[in-house]
Amino acid sequence: MNIEDQLRHNDPARDLDVSDDSLAWMLRAATQAPAPRRAPRRRVWLAGGLVAALALTVSSPAIADGVRYLAQTGWFGNPNPPGAGGPFDAGDSTEQDDSEWIDIMSDDYVDYAASVFPSYISLPAQYDEDAFARATSLWRQGNVSDSLDGAPGAIMQNTGIVRGFETDARCAWIKEWNDAPDGSTRQDAAIDVLLEAAHWDATVSTDGGGIVDMYVTQAENARDGKVGRISMEECTGLVDAGVLQ
Amino acid sequence: MSVEVATVPTTAGDTSTGFEASIAPLMQPLLAYFARRVLPRDESADCLSETLIVLWRKRASLPSTENELRAFAFGVAKGVLANHVRGRVRQTALGDRVRDEVRVSAPSVVDTDVRDSLAALAPKDRELVQLIVWDGFGVAEAGALLGIRPGAARTRYSRAKEKLRVTLAETND
């Protein structure tokens, strides 16, 4: 089988089965949809005037835990409930929970993010936890910065930051498993963590359906010898950025 | 695989009926494009709905030939995909029905060696290969979508395939 045939055989959409009726319905609905709002989905908001609005409307937050960061907005949950008025049109906000909104472009964002790296996340031995947290946060901040399109700021809920760390750590363990000799204690340790990682807090709380199960199946397939390598498809950004060792 | 040049049934921008007739043949290819690149996979429905909304808003200026319209639509899809990576594609009711079908549509069994060899290519080379082999674009068309000249696209595609062969051979040894 030549390389093109091998690739076609491994087309992830090969077995995709969505009815033409549903697609026709979507197409028709798109022509009748109202003009899209500019607010992006879920935990990341990019908003014109956001940072200035924050400075004007949010009083200095109380210092609860000793250290506060400029990245902390003092806003929790929906910062502008539908009908309340204010600097955002948040009527269709789908934020995950009541965690605090964090200013990703703040000068001390990386410091803040590193400070909330969860203690339950473990990393392979070659990683320094703080360095890993900072490197992945810097990489994520760069991604958001590239997408600002002239908007002065971007905010993300704390749960989104933690979820990002969980994904990044999972990538580190997948690479560990792939790099380790077959049947080695390194592979055993990596699988133990990957099985546990499927149930890490933010992964579970942000699972819209099937994600936890997918991660469990992925780890079990590796543990049971059904795959020779675990796919690093979700990790290509970190690989390209040289964050994974 | 390339698509024959033909006249689109009606000017896409004229009416919703004309728009639907023009875009309908692209729905499955566009959904597949996202399903190949988006995780979780069911969010490909949201990317598709976002693409449709953009195309609908631009209906007055859509190209009038199938080839050009296809390239235009995939150019929009490329932008939507970039926004998805940045967390900027919203989940809306528009995608509900297709999202449910994508969710229950079993993912293909893949050879992780092949997929990881592909992932090991430079991002632009990887996308070039995917556009050609999975999405059915010609080499020059795929290159145009990525901003690469036809000659350079041919060279990069050939080099990428060779690298895939070598990587897979090493993996199988």
Q: Which of A22-26, A28-32, A59-63, B71-75 has the highest mean pLDDT?
A: B71-75
Does the distance separating the beta carbons of A236 and B123 come in below 8 Å? yes
Where residue A87 falls among pLDDT bands split at 50, 70, 90? very low
Token pair of A85 as six digits = 């008025």
Q: Supply the mean pLDDT for chain A.
A: 77
Phi and psi torsions of B65, nearest 5°? -110, 155
Question: Is the CB of residue B127 less than 8 Å from the CB of residue B78?
Answer: no
Same domain, B123 and B95: no
Does the distance separating the beta carbons of A23 and B94 come in below 8 Å? no
CA distance B38 to chain A (A): 9
Residue A169: per-residue pLDDT: 96
Q: Which of residues B2 and A43 earns the better pLDDT score?
A: A43
In A141-240, the DSSP E strands lie at 154-157
Spatial separation of the C-alpha atoms in residues B78 and A144, rounded to whole Å: 17
Question: What order do you get walking across the sheet with A44-46 strand by strand?
Answer: A44-46, A154-157, A100-103, A72-76
Residue A82: per-residue pLDDT: 47
Q: Under DSSP, is residue A206 helix (H, G, I), strand (E, B) or coil?
A: coil
Q: Which of A73-82, A94-103, B122-131 has the highest mean pLDDT?
A: B122-131
Spatial separation of the C-alpha atoms in residues A113 and A96, rounded to whole Å: 18
Does the distance separating the beta carbons of A18 and B31 come in below 8 Å? yes
Q: Is B10 on the interface with A (CB under 8 A)?
A: no
Same domain, B51 and B21: yes
Place of tokens 């675990």: A230
pLDDT tens figures, A199-210: 999 888 887 777
ipTM value of the model? 0.81
What count of CB pairs under 8 Å joins A to B? Answer: 180
For residue A155, the chain B residue with the least C-alpha distance is: B87
Nearest one of A22, A39, A91, A26 to B56, comparing CA atoms: A26
The CA distances from residue A98 to A74, A158, A201, A211, B22, in Å, are 11, 9, 14, 21, 44
Same domain, B36 and B100: yes
Same domain, B133 and B84: no
Using DSSP, how many helices (H) and how many strands (E) does chain A show? 10, 4
Same domain, B98 and B127: no
Residue A97: per-residue pLDDT: 73
Residue B81: per-residue pLDDT: 86
The domain spanning residue B115 has which CATH number? 1.10.10.10
Lowest mean pLDDT among A72-81, A103-112, A208-217, A227-236: A72-81
Averages of pLDDT over runs of 10 residues in chain B (173 residues) are: 28 67 94 89 87 86 88 89 70 69 65 84 91 94 89 94 90 72
DSSP H helical segments within chain B, as ranges?
A: 16-23, 27-35, 44-57, 66-85, 96-104, 112-119, 123-133, 139-146, 150-172
Does the distance separating the beta carbons of A22 and B98 come in below 8 Å? yes
Is the predicted pLDDT of residue A45 greater than 70, yes or no? no
* Amino acid identity at A232: M
Residue window 156-185, chain A: list those with CB within 8 Å of chain B.
156, 160, 178
* Mean pLDDT along residues A8-32: 86
Same domain, B116 and B100: no
Lowest mean pLDDT among A64-73, A128-137, A202-211: A64-73
Q: Which of A159-173, A216-230, B13-27 has the highest mean pLDDT?
A: A159-173
Same domain, B148 and B74: no
Q: How many CB atoms lie within 10 A of CB A141?
A: 18
Same domain, B24 and B63: yes
CA distance B132 to chain A (A): 9
Place of tokens 């979508």: B145
Q: In which domain, by residue range, is B94 found?
A: 1-106
Question: Is the CB of residue A165 less than 8 Å from the CB of residue A136?
Answer: yes
Does the distance separating the beta carbons of B83 and A236 come in below 8 Å? no
The domain spanning residue B32 has which CATH number? 1.10.1740
Is the predicted pLDDT of residue A28 greater than 80, yes or no? yes
Cis omega (within 30 of 0) on the bond before B40?
yes
Q: Under DSSP, is residue B65 helix (H, G, I), strand (E, B) or coil?
A: strand
Q: Which of A34-43, A69-78, B132-141 has the highest mean pLDDT?
A: B132-141
Residue A149: per-residue pLDDT: 62
Q: Under DSSP, is residue A81 helix (H, G, I), strand (E, B) or coil?
A: coil
Spatial separation of the C-alpha atoms in residues A173 and A193, rounded to whole Å: 7
Selected for mutation to probe chain B from A2, A4, A5, A7 (highest B CB count within 10 Å) is A7
Residue B164: per-residue pLDDT: 93
Domain ranges of chain A: 34-240
> How many domains, chain B?
2
Nearest one of A126, A132, A188 to A165, comparing CA atoms: A132
Residue window 114-153, chain B: list those with CB within 8 Å of chain A.
114-116, 118-119, 123, 129, 133-134
Q: What is the pTM of this model?
A: 0.50
The CA distances from residue A181 to A175, B8, B64, in Å, are 12, 56, 56
CA distance A227 to chain B (A): 7
Same domain, B89 and B129: no
DSSP label at residue A190: H
**Chain B residues lying within 8 Å of A211, measured CB to CB:** 40
Selected for mutation to probe chain A from B16, B111, B139, B167 (highest A CB count within 10 Å) is B111
Place of tokens 């595609």: B157
Selected for mutation to probe chain B from A15, A41, A211 (highest B CB count within 10 Å) is A41
Q: Which of A17-26, A79-88, A122-131 has the highest mean pLDDT?
A: A122-131
Rg (CA), chain A: 21
**CA of residue B118 relative to chain centroid, distance:** 16
Strand partners, A101: A157
Q: Is A58 on the interface with B (CB under 8 A)?
A: no
Same domain, B60 and B114: no
Phi and psi torsions of A90, nearest 5°? -110, 20
Where residue A83 falls among pLDDT bands split at 50, 70, 90? very low
Q: How many CB atoms lie within 10 A of CB B150?
A: 14
* Amino acid identity at A29: A
Does the distance separating the beta carbons of A236 and B36 come in below 8 Å? no
Domain boundary (B74, B106, B138) is at B106
Phi and psi torsions of A80, nearest 5°? -150, 85
Q: Which of A52-66, A92-106, A119-133 has the highest mean pLDDT?
A: A119-133
Q: Is A196 on the interface with B (CB under 8 A)?
A: no
For residue B116, the chain A residue with the least C-alpha distance is: A231
Domain boundary (B57, B79, B106) is at B106
